[in-house]
Amino acid sequence: MIDQIKITSALISVYSKEGIEEIAKTLEAHNVHIYSTGGTFDFLKSKGIAATSIEEVTTYPSILGGRVKTLHPKVFGGILWRRGSLSDVKDVEHYDIPSIDLVIVDLYPFEKTVAGTDNEEEIIEKIDIGGISLIRAAAKNYRHVVVIPAAGFYKPLMKLLGEKNGFTNVEDRRYFAAQAFNISSHYDTQIFNYFNRSEKIAAFKQSQMISATMRYGENPHQKGSFFGSLPENFEQLHGKELSYNNIVDIDAAINLIAEFHEPSVAIIKHTNPCGVACRETIKEAYLDALACDNLSAFGGIVVANRRIDMETAGELNKLFFEILLAPEYEKNALEVLKSKKNRIILRQNPLSFSSRQFKSILNGVLEQDRDLKAETETDFQFVTKKRPSVAETSELLFANKIVKHLKSNTIVISKNRQLIGCGMGQTSRVDAMKQAILKAKTFGFDLKGAVMASDAFFPFADSVEIAHGAGIAAVIQPGGSIRDADSVKFCDENDMAMVFTGIRHFKH
């Protein structure tokens, strides 16, 4: 293996011409012979930079409307030949193949095109063929060739040229090769996922090029990273760097608050809501969400779906919380909230998430549809003699929106559009029921006339028996137990309303 190699020739084929003039002039200053294609050649020529067109090397013009330019043995032979191989040297000399030591490519912007149009013809034409082939060939032959697979690597190339006078070692070349395969694999994944929107091939392929290193993972002894673009989700207006756990909680907060359209506030702790309320104003919603469980709210995440005004900011400022997430802030309110140095304040951006979600498990990945089902009254199966009133129906739907965002087994108790008690993460539904009642009573709520939601069916009538004893008037649950009749019978005998939805909301 040859370690130190001086770059004497380069092939430049780029979609975006930004930054390439400086690169080409630096290469020219190092006496590097430049080959280039089509629009790149014309651009370099317009800047007074000497270059040889690929057409001159191959003796073939660009054909098929530019689809074929570099796909030729004289181009790929110049990249792929092994400098220490006598047979390769013989072939290169026999076929008069020029040596290429550096390949610079900027691919057609396929991903950006897909994001900007539904025109399939335009999208297909942005699938790069020659460029991706050049990248792969140069990366494969990294022992002898340097590959620059995207404009983001111009800066390290310039540094290399400046510090090493055009020489590279095998570590340099292997680094760029690894980056090249990162670029090419991501590019291919985006193309596959575009086609798989309609074809639905059973394959799991995800790729994220943007990453952020967390201070640590779930715990200080664990390393953690986020792959994706956080600024697409929100703008950080104040506070310390986000942690792994912060991001997990923010995800839970965004998904929960999206369920509500009227002025609403939720308070999240370890991904579980400990306070939720809907009111006429965002201040009232916050105060009633806090009243649900002001103990758990300490150090939690507050999320609102309306602008934070000065009055609300004044109330929020009395609580120690880690993160506040809202769509907008009054200027003076923001200044009040910034009074705590480490408090994280985020402005949420409108963003639609993928309808699919996945997690690593065992030696593979589980993938599923997101739980986007939001039941309405049309989903109700009225199984008891007594039907819920109009007010109770609204309350049942409110409670059911919350129950799907808590860890199973879970029970939610609500009253007057306010979460007043919840039990979550329990190994039995009875325990979740008891925990919810205890929570409500601990914080002084009167359960008489309240409603209850369950994420899954009741295997026995014991849960509705306990609910009735606490004063709960109406129940919403999926149904589906072989003993549903027992629960229905108890409700009928005790003047309780219960509806089935047929939809389970387990969350693990």
Q: Could you list the active site residues?
A: 140, 270
Q: Are 484 and 356 in contact (CB under 8 A)?
A: no
Query: Side chain identity at 344, as an amino acid letter?
Result: I
The CA radius of gyration of the chain, in Å to the nearest whole number, is 31
For the CA atoms of 189, 194, 199, 203, what is the dihedral angle to 10 degrees?
20
Q: Which residues contact 45 (CB under 8 A, 6 or more apart)?
A: 51
Cis peptide before 409 (omega within 30 of 0): yes
Query: Mind giving me the DSSP string for 21-73?
Result: HHHHHHHHHTT-EEEE-HHHHHHHHHTT---EEHHHHHS---BGGGTBSS-SH
- C-alpha distances (whole Å) from 52 to each of 12, 71, 143, 149, 159 are 10, 16, 25, 21, 25
Within 13 Å of residue 364, how many CA atoms lie on the same side as its CB?
4
For the record, the structure tokens of 101 come out as 């030591």
Count CA atoms closer than 13 A to 43's CA, side-chain side: 21
| Contact yes or no for 419/445 (Cβ under 8 A) | no
- Please state, in angstroms and as integers, the Cα–Cα distance from residue 447 to each residue in 386, 389, 421, 482, following that order: 19, 17, 9, 29
Number of Cβ within a 10 Å radius of residue 335: 13
**H or E element that contains 184:** helix 170-199
